[in-house]
Amino acid sequence: MAKALKSRASKFKYVSQSQLTIVGFETPFSKNLDANNRWVILAKKIPWDSLANIYSKQLNNNDKGAGGINPRVIIGSLIIKHLCDFSDRETINAIQENIYMQYFIGYSSFSKKPFPAREN
């Protein structure tokens, strides 16, 4: 029987929406996305900091375990899954293929991999 390859979700650090940005520094997303896309609009309406805070408190994983996955990735993926009525696998595939969904869940740039490498 063939062994299934395990892929793990990104553990890149959560960055608050209210963090100051450096003037003149733009990510690839900020240069190339359509501001009228539904995922860009929805990303601006969601209180990511509040949701990430609630999620992190419920997880209670500060002292034990390998550390949590970025809360925005988890929360955003669940929103995509339910809004689009996807299965778990379809959700991962859709995010992998869609630059706007990757922006929505907080990636800094497009990645073809199911989950980008960890950022420090």
Write the pLDDT tens digit of every residue in 1-24. Answer: 444 444 445 555 556 655 544 444
From CA 39, how far away is CA 95, in angstroms rounded?
A: 11
Q: State the DSSP code for 40.
A: H
From CA 12, how far away is CA 16, in angstroms rounded?
A: 13
Contact 9, 67 (CB under 8 A): no
From CA 35, how far away is CA 12, in angstroms rounded?
A: 25
pLDDT number for residue 37: 94
Give percent above pLDDT 90 in the chain: 40
Write the pLDDT tens digit of every residue in 47-68. Answer: 999 999 898 888 766 666 666 7
From CA 93, how far away is CA 113, in angstroms rounded?
A: 10
